[in-house]
Amino acid sequence: MCFHNALSREATEIENRFDARFREKTVFKPVYYGSGFSFMQWAVITMEKPLFISMYHWGLIPYWVKTAADAQKIRQLTLNAQGEHVFEKPSFKYSIIAQRCLVLSSGFYEWQHIATHKYPYFIYLKDTSLMAMGGIYSVWTDKETGEVFNTFSILTTPANGLMASIHNSKKRMPLILHPKKEKEWLNSQLNRDDIVQLIRPLDENLMTAHTISKKINSPKTEKNTPDIQEPYIYPELNTLF
């Protein structure tokens, strides 16, 4: 799964990497740690506006949701969308065809379970470049207030070898698109078969990871700081990489 993400680069570097411009550059600040459970805003590039980087709320609210109470309930279940079932789920089946997006990232967090212990990892590309996760989005309007919510979900796939070793409880990972496939993900002409071909685990040889401090587990810790990503060695663990 993917509930904990990072985009810890400056706006200009992100714009240059994705050949797109922030619509609100002045408000963007690097995110060293962000949790989907806070329904925070995140940088995405949508099919509708591929030349711009927009800030959408994490936790997709389908357009057909009727009330704010229902919206609050459903967004807790739509932080991720399983790629194998995304075409069948009512919350996702429209968006996967017509509203796909790139969810921008510099790396993400996952936990390895060994006996009763959980070890946190920061996972990123070997060349440390920015990555794009395959996502879907929706625009929902609160009929009572008129407020418009732009929302998204990150697709997931079965884990590759690296992620199966780290996320060994669920053996899932975010859909990380190869850079050569990013623009294709936003192509409005794709049919279902075309999209299915893109929902695959990234080659593990392009990725790496390191353990980080368990302070990320503490609700009292300020996590959105550069040091949250720093390597931390656990002598009891065998080196994976």
The predicted-structure confidence for 168-212, as pLDDT tens digits, reads as follows 999 999 999 999 999 999 999 999 999 999 999 999 999 999 999
> Would strands 148-158 and 52-58 be described as parallel, antiparallel, or unpaired?
parallel
Domains and CATH numbers, the chain: 4-229 (3.90.1680.10)
Residues 6 or more apart whose CB falls under 8 angstroms from that of 116 comprise: none
Gap between the Cα atoms of 100 and 95, Å rounded:
6
Average pLDDT for residues 149-171, to the nearest whole number? 97
What is the SS3 string spanning 46-66?
ECCCCCEEEEEEECCCCCCCC
Mean pLDDT of the chain: 95
Phi, psi dihedrals of residue 192, rounded to the nearest 5° = -60, -45
Q: How far is CA 142 from the centre of its chain?
A: 25
DSSP state of 67: S
Answer for the pair 101, 137: CB distance below 8 angstroms, yes or no.
yes
pTM over 0.95: yes
| Percent of the chain at pLDDT exceeding 90 | 93
Task: Give me the pLDDT at residue 23, please.
Answer: 84
| Percent of the chain at pLDDT exceeding 70 | 98
Residues 6 or more apart whose CB falls under 8 angstroms from that of 134 comprise: 83, 100, 102, 103, 154, 155, 174, 175, 176, 177, 185, 198, 199
Query: Does the pLDDT value for residue 241 go beyond 60?
Result: no
